[in-house]
């Protein structure tokens, strides 16, 4: 039986491994910014990786894990053009990733008065959702939206609207915990058990 | 009967034709007698000896019928050798006035000098009022924007050949957008009356040939009666859906000469009623719609008038069917929960797609993604039924391919959507049972939730990079919205190059509040179309806003001068990404596919060395202007100052250094 301290040390090691996986190889953010512009990334994704509804999804802040980033770069899903190693080498990729990872999250919309005033038209007030679903939406925005779209309509990754017709809640949890590549494995390194349960509930609500 | 003068080596030579006494049949016949008796008096005499050597042919006396006709009462003598007192162009102006045309835009051109003078003097320069522009392409794009707001055409008049060629691209945009413009073109039909030199360069035997593929009707009338008939026919055709420009050639001789034969009185204009779909077919569509479990309405040019928008809301609410607004017109309120324009998944889930006044049906039910292999992919289920109600079905296409790929609908009805909707609504109401209404209400809940989720997702997305410099496009749009939302406002620009943020986050609820997107993709539309749109809004008290890309504005920057010259208040906000950004992305994409340097995607696609100072440019045209504004924190105060200027009646421009999209 492992001692309490051994368990903690093992958990810490797992977390560090996960963090290292997500962070990717060490890169230089300043050099990455230059490479980001030199390769025309900002044309579709914006100067801060914010994306736009028509041409490029949001890729920062909180970029997808490095493996997913690299997979999309080399063999993109959707209409993004490929960036082979011949024109964007491993170091450039690592540096660009470091730049994206260095971009701080700005204020949420609710803290920006102009955006906070955006209404819901004649749809009525936003429905009261269970606390878990609300938390799941926040988890989704931070970790999933860059691939699956801001409202689950798809992007790099497939659309998740009506996912409930394909997977029930238990199946959704299971898939998030043990995804099929190229979907990154964020549990347990980045997402807790509660995060997974809540984000699955949110996806089921789409 | 044109009198022209030329300077030549021999000195001033007067050219005149035999009937210098005026237009009446009496004087015309008298003139023939004079000519018979002594041609040397009035014939063209560049060389008197040659004239003497060739005696004029003898003319037969008038027939009894002609002689009898000549005894009718005649107008007073209308011209002498130096004057024309009743030019044909006065009648032409009466014809145009009879059609209710309020404005005519033009850059001057001598082939239409006769009718120009009639518009401004005889016509009193009112209804239509002359709008001065500095390029014929501005004339046409201006008229395009005007018609979309006013709901009726204005006129433009262009110099032949060179002027019409300048106008042609904007006419093509209007064609693709199915917008009516009355196009008048000056010409000198009779070669014998053309001065040597430039008048020959500015005439053609088939004037409309160069634009015939993208105007709905054209004619080259050679009498005042046929001018009246052709111009009235042009107006009727071009205002009947699907709408388009009508082109009438104004013969300079007919315009400048005295009236030869008194034309008929001009009867009041009676508009053509738009085509309505077959009632039995509409009833069958109603049956399918009521039976469908997931119907989707796709709208493009539905709301020709505010009534069209109201009808579309009624139909959508009866069925609780989501609407995908492709937005060539202001079809559906952006704050309505059934507006699911940014959730194309509703099309994938649909069991019935109702396509209304949309010539881009292929792009709704299928797609060809921009990949190396251009495969067609379907966006709908195999079992999805397609219903097409569309005035486009009644007209053909020629050289230009704007009708896109053919889609075989299950039911296709050649009728205009707005005109057909009342009958369709009535049929749906007849067929809706209480049980079906209850089922539809359940559907509504799903769309309410989806609308809210979409709005909130867009709102959250707009927050990302909120403080970025260059300024993010959603921030630019939302800073504008924040300043106009409590005003009576109208947006007169397309939205596709600004991420459709106004349609995503602004509450656009009235038909006049948005002009809709443009057609044809001809760059240069926006700056000039906004002038016409603002002209149509002028006097309503509305705060008019135009968000224009820098690449767009630089094609026809002179349109700003017309704003200042005619005191047309409008707030121009330049989305200045210093690039033809879409093209920059295209070239980069191709370089990526070929494993070549993507940085060279900027060669030939950016506008940054030197960066253009749009504020200085606008100031030189007479506008209030500020910029370049790079910090998002400086934007709101600058907008406020510009809006203040606009409210005082002065057009304004704010140059915003912005993100690409």
Question: What pLDDT is stored for residue B80 in this prediction?
Answer: 79
Task: Check CB contact under 8 Å for B458 and A162.
Answer: no
Put the strands of the sheet holding B323-325 in their side by side order: B323-325, B295-299, B352-356, B385-389, B411-413
State whether residue B2 is helix, strand or coil.
Answer: coil
Q: Is B473 exposed, middle or buried (0-12, 13-18, 19+ CB in 10 A)?
A: buried
Which residues on neighbouring strands pair with residue B367, listed in sequence order? B377
Q: How far is CA B285 from CA B278, B288, B456, in A?
A: 11, 5, 35
Question: What pLDDT is stored for residue B59 in this prediction?
Answer: 56
Rg (CA), chain B: 29
DSSP assignment, residue A56?
A: B
Confirm if B585 and B554 have CB atoms less than 8 A apart: no
pLDDT tens, residue by residue, A117-169:
999 999 988 767 778 888 888 888 878 887 787 778 777 678 887 788 888 88
Average pLDDT, chain B: 90
Which are the contacts of B399, defined by CB distance < 8 A and separation ≥ 6? B213
Q: Is B175 exposed, middle or buried (0-12, 13-18, 19+ CB in 10 A)?
A: buried
Confidence grade of residue B14 (pLDDT, cut at 50, 70, 90): very low
- Lowest pLDDT segment from B48-52, B454-458, B463-467, B556-560: B48-52
Residues of B in contact with A86 (CB under 8 A): 595
CA of residue B198 relative to chain centroid, distance: 30
> What does B152-166 look like in DSSP terms, one character per residue?
S--EEEE-TTHHHHH
pLDDT tens, residue by residue, B376-394:
999 999 999 999 999 999 9
Task: Check CB contact under 8 Å for B458 and A150.
Answer: yes
- Lowest pLDDT segment from A32-41, A174-183, B144-153: A174-183
SS (H, E, C) B176-228: HCCCCCEEEEEECCCHHHCCCCHHHHCCCCCHHHHHHHHCCEEECCCCHHHHH
State whether residue B14 is helix, strand or coil.
Answer: strand
Confirm if B330 and B513 have CB atoms less than 8 A apart: yes
Confidence grade of residue B58 (pLDDT, cut at 50, 70, 90): low
The answer to whether B633 contacts chain A (CB < 8 Å) is no
The answer to whether B507 contacts chain A (CB < 8 Å) is yes
Residue of B nearest to A36 (CA): B599
Which are the contacts of A165, defined by CB distance < 8 A and separation ≥ 6? none
Give the whole-number percent of chain B exceeding pLDDT 70: 88
B22 phi-psi bin (left φ>0, alpha ψ -120 to 50, beta other)? left
Q: Chain A: nearest CA to B496, how far in angstroms?
A: 9
Of B342, B482, B661, the CB nearest to A114: B482
Residues of B in contact with A46 (CB under 8 A): 465, 468, 472, 659-661
ipTM, 2 decimals? 0.85
Average pLDDT over residues B603-631: 97
Task: Check CB contact under 8 Å for B507 and A121.
Answer: yes
Of B470, B499, B592, the CB nearest to A53: B499
Indicate whether A13 pLDDT > 60: no
pLDDT tens, residue by residue, B532-587:
999 999 999 999 999 999 999 999 999 999 999 999 999 999 999 999 999 999 99
Cite the DSSP H helix spans in B337-484: 345-349, 361-365, 417-431, 434-463, 473-484
Task: Please compute, for residue A56, the number of CA atoms within 13 A of its CA located in the half-sphere on the CB side.
Answer: 25
Confidence grade of residue A23 (pLDDT, cut at 50, 70, 90): low
The answer to whether B595 contacts chain A (CB < 8 Å) is yes
Nearest-angstrom CA–CA distance, A62 and B454: 21
For B82, other C-beta atoms within 10 Å of its C-beta total 7
Element (H, E) at B574: strand B571-576
Confirm if A92 and A28 have CB atoms less than 8 A apart: no
Average pLDDT over residues B399-412: 93
Q: Is B229 exposed, middle or buried (0-12, 13-18, 19+ CB in 10 A)?
A: middle
Phi, psi values for residue A189, rounded to 5°: -65, -40
Of B337, B467, B496, the CB nearest to A123: B337
Confidence grade of residue B73 (pLDDT, cut at 50, 70, 90): low
The answer to whether B336 contacts chain A (CB < 8 Å) is yes
Cite the DSSP H helix spans in chain A: 4-23, 29-38, 41-45, 66-74, 90-102, 113-116, 131-143, 145-148, 169-177, 193-205
pLDDT tens, residue by residue, B208-262:
999 999 999 999 999 999 999 999 999 999 999 999 999 999 999 999 999 989 9
Residues of A in contact with B452 (CB under 8 A): 120, 123-124, 126-127
Q: How far is CA A105 from CA B105, B413, B456, in A?
A: 51, 52, 18
pLDDT tens, residue by residue, A89-104:
999 999 999 999 999 9
Question: What pLDDT is stored for residue B25 in this prediction?
Answer: 35
Task: Check CB contact under 8 Å for A47 and B659.
Answer: yes
Average pLDDT over residues A27-52: 96
Q: Is A164 exposed, middle or buried (0-12, 13-18, 19+ CB in 10 A)?
A: middle
Average pLDDT over residues B165-180: 98
B541 phi-psi bin (left φ>0, alpha ψ -120 to 50, beta other)? left
pLDDT tens, residue by residue, A64-98:
889 989 999 999 987 899 999 999 999 999 999 99
| Mutation target among A49, A80, A151, A204 for the B interface, most CBs of B within 10 A | A151
Comparing C-alpha atoms, which of B300, B284, B321, B312 is closest to residue B410?
B284
Residues of A in contact with B466 (CB under 8 A): 106-107, 112, 115
């Amino acid at each position: 039986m492992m001692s309490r301290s051994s368990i903690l040390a093992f958990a810490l090691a797992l977390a560090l491994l996960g963090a290292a996986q997500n962070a990717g190889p060490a890169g230089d953010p300043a050099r990455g910014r230059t490479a980001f512009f030199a390769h025309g990334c900002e044309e579709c994704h914006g100067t801060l990786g914010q994306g736009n509804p028509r041409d490029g999804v949001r890729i920062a802040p909180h970029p997808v894990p490095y493996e997913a980033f690299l997979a999309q770069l080399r063999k993109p899903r959707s209409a993004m053009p490929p960036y082979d190693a011949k024109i964007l080498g491993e170091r450039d990729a690592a540096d660009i990733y470091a730049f994206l990872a260095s971009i701080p999250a700005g204020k949420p919309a609710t803290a920006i008065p102009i955006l906070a005033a955006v209404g819901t038209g004649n749809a009525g007030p936003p429905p009261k959702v269970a606390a878990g679903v609300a938390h799941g939406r926040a988890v989704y925005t931070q970790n999933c939206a860059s691939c699956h779209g801001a409202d689950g309509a798809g992007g790099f990754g497939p659309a998740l609207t009506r996912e409930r017709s394909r997977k029930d809640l238990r199946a959704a949890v299971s898939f998030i915990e043990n995804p099929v590549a190229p979907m990154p494995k964020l549990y347990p390194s980045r997402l807790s058990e509660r995060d997974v349960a809540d984000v699955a509930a949110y996806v089921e609500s789409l | 009967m044109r009198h022209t003068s030329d300077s030549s080596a021999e000195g001033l030579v007067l050219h005149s034709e035999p009937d210098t006494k005026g237009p009446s049949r009496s004087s015309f016949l008298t003139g023939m007698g004079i000519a018979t008796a002594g041609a040397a008096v009035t014939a063209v005499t560049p060389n008197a000896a040659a004239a003497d050597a060739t005696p004029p042919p003898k003319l037969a006396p008038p027939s009894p019928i002609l002689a009898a006709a000549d005894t009718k009462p005649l107008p007073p003598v209308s011209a002498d050798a130096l004057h024309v007192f009743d030019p044909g162009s006065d009648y032409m102006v009466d014809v145009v006035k009879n059609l209710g045309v309020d404005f005519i835009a033009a850059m001057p051109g001598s082939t239409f000098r006769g009718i120009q003078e009639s518009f401004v003097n005889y016509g009193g320069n009112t209804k239509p009022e002359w709008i001065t522009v500095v390029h014929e392409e501005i004339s046409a794009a201006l008229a395009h924007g005007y018609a979309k707001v006013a709901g009726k055409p204005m006129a433009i008049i262009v110099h032949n050949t060179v002027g019409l060629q300048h106008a042609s691209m904007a006419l093509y945009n209007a064609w693709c957008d199915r917008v009516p413009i009355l196009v008048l073109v000056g010409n000198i039909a009779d070669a014998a009356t053309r001065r040597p030199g430039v008048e020959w360069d500015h005439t053609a035997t088939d004037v409309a040939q160069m634009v015939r593929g993208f105007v709905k009707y054209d004619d080259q009338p050679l009498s005042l009666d046929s001018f009246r008939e052709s111009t009235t026919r042009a107006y009727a055709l071009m205002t009947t859906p699907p709408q388009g420009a009508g082109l009438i050639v104004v013969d300079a001789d007919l315009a400048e000469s005295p009236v030869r034969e008194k034309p008929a009185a001009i009867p009041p204009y009676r508009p053509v009623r738009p085509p309505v779909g077959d009632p039995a077919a509409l009833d069958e569509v109603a049956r399918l719609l009521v039976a469908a479990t997931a119907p989707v309405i796709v709208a493009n040019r539905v709301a020709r008038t505010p009534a069209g928008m109201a009808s579309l809301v009624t139909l959508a609410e009866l069925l609780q069917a989501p609407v995908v607004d492709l937005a060539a017109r202001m079809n559906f309120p952006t704050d309505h929960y059934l507006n699911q324009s940014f959730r194309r998944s509703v099309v994938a889930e649909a069991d019935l797609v109702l396509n209304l006044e949309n010539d881009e049906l292929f792009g709704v039910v299928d797609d060809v993604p921009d990949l190396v292999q251009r495969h067609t992919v379907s966006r709908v289920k195999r079992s999805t039924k397609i219903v097409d109600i569309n005035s486009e079905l009644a007209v053909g296409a020629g050289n230009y391919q704007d009708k896109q790929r053919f889609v075989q609908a299950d039911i296709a009805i050649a009728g205009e959507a707005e005109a057909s909707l009342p009958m369709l609504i009535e049929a749906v109401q007849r067929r809706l049972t209480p049980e079906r209404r209850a089922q539809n209400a359940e559907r509504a809940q799903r769309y309410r939730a989806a609308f809210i989720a979409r709005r909130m997702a867009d709102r959250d997305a707009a927050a990302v990079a909120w403080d970025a410099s260059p300024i993010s496009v959603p921030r630019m749009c939302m800073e504008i919205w924040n300043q106009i939302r409590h005003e009576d406002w109208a947006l007169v620009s397309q939205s596709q190059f600004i991420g459709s943020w106004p349609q995503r986050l602004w509450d656009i609820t009235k038909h006049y509040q948005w002009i809709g997107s443009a057609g044809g993709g001809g760059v240069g539309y926006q700056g000039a179309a906004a002038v016409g749109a603002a002209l149509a809004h002028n006097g309503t008290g509305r705060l008019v806003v135009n968000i224009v890309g820098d690449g767009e504005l630089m094609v026809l920057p002179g349109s700003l001068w017309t704003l200042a010259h005619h005191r047309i208040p409008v707030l121009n906000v330049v989305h200045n990404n210093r690039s033809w950004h879409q093209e920059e992305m295209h070239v980069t994409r191709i370089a990526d596919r070929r494993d070549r340097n993507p940085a060279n995607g900027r060669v030939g696609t950016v506008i940054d060395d030197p960066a253009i100072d749009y504020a200085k440019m606008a100031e030189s045209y007479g506008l209030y202007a500020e910029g370049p504004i790079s910090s998002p924190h400086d934007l709101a105060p600058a907008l406020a100052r510009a809006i203040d200027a606009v409210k005082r009646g002065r057009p304004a421009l704010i140059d915003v250094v912005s993100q690409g999209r």
